[in-house]
Structure 1
Amino acid sequence: MRPAAGEVLHFSEDPTITCFAPHVAATARQPEAYVWAVDAARAPDYWFPRQCPRAMAWVAPETSERDRALLSPGGSRVHVIEYGWLEAMRTVRLFAYRFAAAPFRPFGEHRHAMVAVTPVEPLGPPEAVGDLLALHASAAIELRLLPNLWAFVDAAASSSLGFSGIRLGSALPRPTELPA
């Protein structure tokens, strides 16, 4: 599920939205009100239940051979979730809203999202995204399950891989180290 040329997507578990008004998200780090969407490259970051904490890493132009070891052999991208979210991944009803890209502009230093500052209406009714595990498989994105995200987050964030974490505030706490 990716946008067509000239489009961006917004993923939601709510299939009843008819107009998206700019707002300040509860997790926002900036005070401006936006309508959020993603382009084709970042759409896979949202193939998850909305509140699911996840970490993503991918091969970037500057990725070293040593750091590629964080990915599966031959892989170019991995998404990581905690075991506790697997059932939600299997059962969530996720929808994609398509928008014309024209009112949106890239957001952030790493262009991780697209934002609009005026209300926008979808190009049509939302589309059911379907089986999220199958979607990952068809896109050749490894979906890795871990008991806790933090060791992977730390390793990927300090590597030369591209990295993103979403909803990490909802992840299980960092494991405490046992005294030696």
Structure 2
Amino acid sequence: MRPEPGQVLHFSEDPTIKRFVPHVAPTSSRKEPYVWAVDHDRCPDYWFPRACPRAMAWVGPRTTEQDADRIIGAGCGDRVHAVEYRWLQALREARLYAYRLPSEHFKPIGDPPHAVVSTVAVEPLGPPERVGDLFELHEEAGIQLRVLPSLWPFWDEVIASTLEFSGIRLRNARR
């Protein structure tokens, strides 16, 4: 599930949203109201139930072959996502929807950019699309999906490496 040219996506478990209005997300450290979305490359970060903690790592321009082989695995592609065992059922049962939004209203945010934001209200280009089986989506994209008792040992290795990474909802991970 990726956007087409001229689009960005917003993923939600709510299939009833008719209009996206800028707001300050409860989990955001930013004070500005935004509509949040993602571009093609960051869509896989959101192929999860909203509250599911996940640690993700991928090969970037400064990644060493040694780090890629050690953390992702030799011959295992260039990206890995990790979740905890206790989230497997939620991942299996998630009913996730993608909203296609016009990209003209969005600009990148973060350094490096991790999302795109709009400061004006945005209406979807059509009805939400059911994302489908999240395991299949990862497989089709060639993304390794790893299941761990705890994300923290993996996360510590990732952030100390030369891989690029993102951690979402880590506050929900088992300590």
Give the alignment's TM-score, normalised by structure 2.
0.98
Q: How many angstroms does 1:120 deviate by?
A: 0.3
Are residues 1:49 and 2:49 paired? yes
Q: Percent identity?
A: 59
- Distance in 1 between residues matched to 2:66 and 2:56, nearest whole Å: 18
Which amino acid in the other structure matches residue 67 of structure 1? D
Q: Which residue of 1 aligns with 2:144?
A: 142
- What SS does the corresponding residue of 1:70 show, helix, strand or coil? helix
- Distance in 1 between residues matched to 2:141 and 2:10, nearest whole Å: 19
Q: Which residue of 1 aligns with 2:35?
A: 35
Q: How many angstroms does 1:72 deviate by?
A: 2.2
For structure 1, which runs of at least 5 residues remain unmatched after alignment?
174-180
For structure 2, which runs of at least 5 residues remain unmatched after alignment?
none
- What SS does the corresponding residue of 1:30 show, helix, strand or coil? coil
Are residues 1:72 and 2:73 paired? yes
- Distance in 2 between residues matched to 1:79 and 1:151, nearest whole Å: 14
Partner deviation per Cα, 1:20-52 (whole Å, 9 max, x = no partner): 000000110110000000000000000000000
Are residues 1:3 and 2:6 paired? no
Give the alignment's TM-score, normalised by structure 1.
0.95
Number of residue equivalences: 173
- What SS does the corresponding residue of 2:26 show, helix, strand or coil? coil
What does 1:21-170 align with in structure 2 at a 5 Å threshold?
21-68=21-68, 69-74=70-75, 75-170=77-172
Root mean square deviation, CA, Å = 0.6
- Distance in 1 between residues matched to 2:65 and 2:91, nearest whole Å: 31
